[in-house]
Amino acid sequence: MKTLDRYLLRETVAPLGAGLGLFLFVLLADKLVDMLDLVFNRGVEASVVLRLLVCFLPSVIAISLPMAALLAAVLAFGRLTHDRELMAMKGAGLSLVRLAVPLAGLGIACSIVLVVFNGTILPAATTEYKRILLTIVRQRASVAFKERVFIREFDRYLLYFQKKVGTTGDLEDVTIVETPATAGTPPRIILARQGALRVDPRGFRVTLELRDGLMDQPADMEGEHYTRIEFQSYAVNLDIHDALKGNQIFVKGLDELNYADLFRRIRELRNVRDMRRDYEIALHQKIALAFAPLFVILIGAPLGSLARRGGGIGVLVSLFVIFVYYILLTTGQGLAQKGTLPPWVGMWAPNLFLAVAGVLAFAVASHEARWIRWGR
């Protein structure tokens, strides 16, 4: 590797790391607040929440790396332009395309890493994320359900029971006050001789199965008139999303599949087009998103070279480009899911947009069009 290439890589790698850290912090900020809530307000062990955060991190890295690559290229070439180093390099007969070669190598390296990352680490982390989350669900259910204590862990429900039988989750003499979703409606009171606590690992719900009981539904807030219903069995779904605030968004099952799983499902469903489509979208999305850093880092080089004073507007333009890219990616996914576009078209069209934008950016920068030289 030539000295010039090493120099350009050093100028790019540092802002790449800083940009990745910045975008990770921004995208994780809201999740960090929710995680702290689990520790301080929900009684979940800090070590468990830390593992949950680590498993959530790969999904954010897959999104942040393309943005960080674009920002790094813009800042690196913007700095070279500001210090007149780029002008000196051009004066030595080096074209902008030649100067972008080490960045292309860095982009290829990032893309190869992401291809492997999206097909191995990300699915495994997603599966572990859901497993840890289920552990928290069970922990919260176990901790919350204590004898002769009013339980307020679940929104809309106030629970109380006299006795918990062994470790089976069976309850005796259960009382539930259900607050209605509609304001002004009186609460419903549910009494049961027995109850059983069940955890649903797929729906992330805690279900309280009641037996031999009755429900009183007051007709007004004064409670002077009410309707009483007796039952032999009745199930109350205590949605764990309310007990674990901040974890309402769960990763789809397709994100847990690696490349081998996706290829196998596509082969198995080769004659069932509608069912096969989702797996094809997931496969092309993993690979297409992995190649985004290669395209965006090549856009950043000409954008940075067009900046005169550090590339402030160049950074804004680069962020706009990546914003358009993710809009196109979301749109392409939606059209592919509807069958309007083939899955590979919907997922790879945003990369084609980046490629065209990169060619135009190089053309403008090579001709040094004065009308777009911002920051004078």
Main-chain phi, psi angles of 203, to 5 degrees: -90, -5
Low-confidence ranges of the chain (pLDDT < 50): 242-252, 309-310, 369-376
The model carries a pTM of: 0.69
What's residue 372's pLDDT? 43
Helices (H), 83-121: 85-91, 96-99, 101-116
What's residue 232's pLDDT? 93
At which residue do the structure tokens 């039988």 appear? 165
Angstrom distance (rounded) from CA 367 to CA 346: 33
Quote the tokens at residue 110: 């990032």
What's residue 252's pLDDT? 46
What's residue 137's pLDDT? 65
What's residue 1's pLDDT? 60
DSSP state string for 347-371: HHHHHHHHHHHHHHHHHHHHHT-GG
Q: Helix, strand, or coil here: 99?
A: helix
Q: Are 204 and 236 in contact (CB under 8 A)?
A: no
What's residue 92's pLDDT? 85
What's residue 218's pLDDT? 82
Angstrom distance (rounded) from CA 275 to CA 266: 9
